[in-house]
A and B are shown apart, each in its own frame.
Chain A
Amino acid sequence: MLIELTVNGRDVAVDAPPDITLLDLLRDYLNLTGTKEGCAVGECGACAVIMDGRLVNSCMVLAPQADGCAITTIEGVRAPDGGPNDLQQNFIEYGAVQCGICIPGMIMAGEALLMRNPLPTREEIRMGLAGNLCRCTGYQQIVDAIEATAKGRQKG
């Protein structure tokens, strides 16, 4: 079936089977492989993307459910010059990245949180990341990076 959606600001129309997930659509039909498959059952958040302004696990969304929606993936998060944005830069600076597999989902969860809550407490940041698993960093540095970004954006 024909699925029409906006991905990272670009309108796309994809002919895909009705029983695949949004994750498969992004990775296998649109070659956007920044979004990762971890558990494939909604537990780990590696596949998180922003759909119409809300964080979702793309492994839990059927591709045709995204028809007519605006999706932002990790490829759509960047500074105007195409390099890392402030949140991504802070992930690097605070040592929040080790093996990296969870990071696209972590960045999306961080951006989704800051969209709705520009100055979250550390507890609110933890709750914002509740659906994202990281097995290397111990989360502390990830929370630090998001906190620093919130403060940086506040200053403008």
Chain B
Amino acid sequence: MPMFDYVRAKSVAEAVELLADTQCVSRPLAGGTDVLVQVRHTPPTFQRLVDVSRIPEMKIIERQGDEICVGAAVTYTEIIESALLRETATCLVEASRLVGGPAIANAGTLGGNVANGAACADGVPPLVCLDALAHVRNSAGARAVPVADLLSGPHETMLQRGDLITHFTFPVMPDGARSTFIKLGRRNAQAISRLNVAAAGALSSEGRVIFARVVPGSALPRLRRFVEVENMLIGERPSEALFETAGAEASRAMVAVTGRRWSTEYKEIALQGLVARALRQVFTVEN
């Protein structure tokens, strides 16, 4: 007897219908790079996988007015190859370049990364940095949830059985804004993040910070924008001292939530450095 059944959905409507089936506990399957590792280690809690990886509506990458729309079944490789995303979502492209090796990047999807809910997920800090909404469908209807609110804790999401993330949308950042992503792993490639930072920012014509986003990943039990750091940047002129102070503030904010743990000695210095480096990349004006 097979452990589970497989069915390929051709449209979002069909996938939602299959996932809502009460006779057969079903879970979405996209790139399989998390699901297949899990079934290897523990018996599946589902009876059927609904393959959503080839649903055309979930593969789009396009600009819709002042918003960018990225389908949940878009792979990291497709993100890296997208000229639109390279222009409007550098942090997401940079993060995608650092996911796994080529084979993982070719299969793994953004929707799978978010739905899997790992604290070290590299796709999530960029989405939160971009203020992305996850668009979720089930048989009762559709809703849009800020990505940050979808994640309730390590490997816990607010997704219910039957929910399908169809796509993400985020507003186009202000003119001149730049974003970046920096990752700290145990080796340079195919390593999960010990810590990472997505950051974005823009300067006024007078050279003062008018837009700032700082989102450390793997730092807090619940991922969020570090608004306290963003606020201290607004109105300031970029300088080495400012980047260092912002890094220190990020570490302070992290420790205020996590308390001092075995990893704090390392993470405190590392986060400070990563935030400073990310801000340097975002705000350093090339001549």
Chain A residues contacting B103 (CB-CB under 8 Å) are 42, 45, 48, 55-57, 60, 109, 131
Interface residues of B (CB under 8 A from A): 2-6, 8, 29, 31-33, 36-37, 39-40, 49, 51, 53, 77, 100-104, 106-107, 188-190
Chain A residues contacting B107 (CB-CB under 8 Å) are 56-57, 60-61
In the complex, the answer to whether A127 meets B106 with C-beta atoms within 8 Å is: no
In the complex, the answer to whether B37 meets A62 with C-beta atoms within 8 Å is: no
Q: Which residues from 1 to 42 on chain A have a C-beta closer than 8 Å to any C-beta of chain B?
A: 1, 17-19, 21, 40-42
List 28 A-B pairs, Cβ < 8 Å.
Answer: A1-B6, A18-B2, A18-B4, A18-B6, A19-B4, A19-B6, A40-B40, A41-B36, A41-B40, A42-B33, A42-B36, A42-B104, A54-B77, A60-B32, A60-B33, A62-B6, A62-B29, A62-B32, A65-B51, A65-B53, A67-B8, A109-B102, A109-B103, A127-B189, A128-B102, A130-B189, A131-B103, A131-B190
Q: Is A43 an interface residue (CB 8 A)?
A: yes
Chain A residues contacting B101 (CB-CB under 8 Å) are 45, 127, 129-132
Closest to B48 in A: A18
In the complex, the answer to whether B190 meets A19 with C-beta atoms within 8 Å is: no
| Closest 9 pairs (CB-CB, A-B) | A131-B101, A130-B189, A130-B101, A18-B6, A19-B2, A54-B106, A17-B2, A64-B6, A57-B103
Interface size on A, residues (CB 8 A): 32
Interface residues of A (CB under 8 A from B): 1, 17-19, 21, 40-43, 45, 48, 54-57, 59-62, 64-65, 67, 109, 112-113, 126-132
Nearest Cβ on chain B to A1's Cβ, whole angstroms:
7
In the complex, the answer to whether B40 meets A19 with C-beta atoms within 8 Å is: no
A-B contacts besides A18-B5, A42-B36, 17 pairs, CB < 8 Å: A18-B2, A42-B103, A55-B102, A56-B106, A56-B107, A57-B104, A60-B104, A61-B36, A62-B32, A65-B51, A67-B8, A109-B102, A112-B102, A130-B101, A131-B100, A131-B103, A131-B190
